[in-house]
Amino acid sequence: MSVEGTDWGSVADWASAAGSILASVVALYLARSAQRVSATALCGIREISDMPGRSFAWIKVTNTGERPFKVASVSLSHGLMPKKHGFIKMDRAGAFRDPLMVPLNDGDSGHYGFPLDEDNWVSQQASTFRSFLDVRTFRITLHLSNNQSIRIKPEKPLMDHMKEVMTQAKSRTKSD
């Protein structure tokens, strides 16, 4: 195989080909990033100033970008092998939570609060935990209307509360 007679073209041809490929990659990246929403989310324990002594598991999502979106659903997961999944049923707005599928424009926030002294997803989920590994791997996922999702690790006070509920549930089953 001889390479001596092969014409590889000029440097300008190679530079223009590389420039064309780079331009198309940048255009695809910009088009994809324009479709993505920008949001921040958190989950933890909060107290409402009007109700001292009453704590809530609080999920908050804020639109930090220009593209509006809606929170379509909220799901839960924990464990490694096998991973367990669930969802939070929020079919209507409550006293402490906004309804789902409400448009969140730039700077808008959605708040979803669940009293810790009531039977809701916090106590139900924590009572299904078998070990501290389940608590450590617990995550909440917010599913958005544009097929994106935001995965949240709950703050430490909420994780500690769930550990406490888990140990109480274990001690109740041992005493029964």
Q: 80-103, pLDDT tens digit by residue? A: 878 888 888 877 777 788 888 889
What is the rounded average pLDDT for all residues in the chain? 85
pLDDT value, residue 90? 76
Contact indicator for 112, 60 with CB cutoff of 8 Å: yes
Total-model pTM:
0.75
- The pLDDT value given to residue 44: 93
Mind listing the pLDDT tens digit for each residue in 99-147? Answer: 888 899 989 999 988 888 878 888 888 888 888 888 899 999 999 988 8
> Domains in the chain, ordered, with CATH?
33-175 (2.60.40)
